[in-house]
């Protein structure tokens, strides 16, 4: 595991506790040698880059520059990442963020974060046993996940979907869970199927 993509609220000001949480998570991960990936915007994304640098690490962002999207935050000039990858559109940007991370941390956020959360969870379930791990950060996730399971058809013959994520409430828990995920996935290494290198599957697998 070399990199972690952090998703979260773009409109989060630096004075918001969420901003500081994202920065601290990124700092702890960077201190452990992990590259931090984010969407290049403000809020949680900028905090992730700042945390990466405070931890002595590097930050990579995947961005795009829209012409006709009113409710997209775009690139934040204060998000001073070490590397920027420019994509053609929002969907490609999201896919690139998923590709670049070997694991994911989903912070609190709005509709964009929800779309990233849904894609991350869906891919983890589809590639269960080969999947990239992801962490939901914050205790607010507990009632959300309980409500989803209680009211949607997630748990019916789909128990694997409940095994692919963990909820962390401190940066240290994030690091611990990622280490456990890495160890568990490595134990399945000899049982993996080889993905067709031409079909793009390896972008979402460990």
Residue 184 is part of which domain span? 3-204
The CATH number given to whatever domain includes residue 164 is 3.40.50.450
Q: How many CB atoms lie within 10 A of CB 169?
A: 15
> For the chain, how many structural domains are there in total?
1
- For the chain (206 residues), the mean pLDDT of every run of 10, in chain order, is 96 96 98 97 97 98 83 82 94 96 97 95 90 94 94 76 93 94 66 48 63
Place of tokens 């690490």: 57
Look up residue 202 and give its two tokens.
């390896």
User: How many angstroms separate the CA atoms of 16 and 22, rounded?
Assistant: 10
User: Edge-to-edge strand order for the sheet containing 59-63?
Assistant: 83-86, 59-63, 35-38, 3-7, 103-106, 134-137, 165-168
């Amino acid at each position: 595991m070399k990199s972690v993509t952090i998703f979260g609220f773009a409109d989060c000001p630096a004075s918001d506790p969420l901003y500081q949480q994202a920065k601290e998570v990124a700092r702890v991960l960077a201190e452990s040698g992990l590259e931090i990936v984010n969407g290049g915007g403000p809020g949680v994304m900028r905090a992730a880059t700042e945390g990466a640098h405070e931890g002595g690490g590097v930050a990579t962002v995947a961005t795009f520059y829209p012409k006709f999207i009113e409710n997209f935050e775009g690139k934040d000039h204060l998000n001073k990442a070490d590397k920027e990858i420019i994509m053609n559109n929002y969907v490609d940007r999201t896919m690139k963020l998923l590709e670049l991370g070997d694991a994911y941390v989903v912070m609190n956020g709005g509709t964009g974060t929800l779309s990233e959360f849904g894609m991350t969870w869906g891919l983890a379930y589809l590639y269960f046993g080969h999947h990239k791990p992801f962490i939901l950060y914050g205790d607010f996730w507990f009632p959300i996940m309980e409500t989803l399971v209680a009211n949607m058809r997630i748990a019916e013959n789909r128990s694997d979907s409940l095994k692919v994520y963990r909820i962390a409430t401190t940066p240290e828990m994030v690091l611990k869970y990622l280490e456990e995920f890495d160890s568990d996935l490595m134990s399945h290494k000899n049982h993996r199927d080889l993905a067709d290198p031409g079909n793009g599957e390896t972008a979402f697998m460990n």
